[in-house]
Amino acid sequence: MDIPNLLRDWPVQAVVAIVAGVVVLLVPRVLNYAVATYLLIVGALGVMHVYYGQTIRPMTVISIVAGLIILLKPAILSYVIGIYLILAGLIEAGILRF
């Protein structure tokens, strides 16, 4: 199995997002765990790129940290997601650079 091509050609992140969304709709009480799992998987996918010679992206680190915080403190989900989205927007816009 060629992992770099799989990550590039197959929409793994999109599939994980769809599955997480369906799980949340079917069982709303697992929202925190679904969001945390999604963020950790996205972060893990980003780490896999590093093993194939690419640099680590800031969103990889932010996703892993956000996922871990949500698992440890589920009550602050809305704050963590709010900060995650703000950072994602600033990075994508090029305003915040690492």
Residue pLDDT, tens place only, 16-35:
888 888 888 898 888 999 99
Evaluate whether 62 touches 38 at the Cβ level (below 8 Å): no
| Cα–Cα distance for residue pair 49/3, rounded to 1 Å | 9
17-20-21 Cα angle (round to 5): 85
The predicted pLDDT at position 6 comes to 60
**Domain residue extents for the chain:** 3-93
Structure confidence at residue 8 as a pLDDT band (50, 70, 90): low
Structure confidence at residue 97 as a pLDDT band (50, 70, 90): confident
DSSP 8-state secondary structure symbol assigned to residue 54: P
The predicted pLDDT at position 28 comes to 85
Evaluate whether 86 touches 38 at the Cβ level (below 8 Å): no
Evaluate whether 50 touches 44 at the Cβ level (below 8 Å): no
Tally of CA atoms within 13 A in the half-sphere of 34 that contains its CB = 16
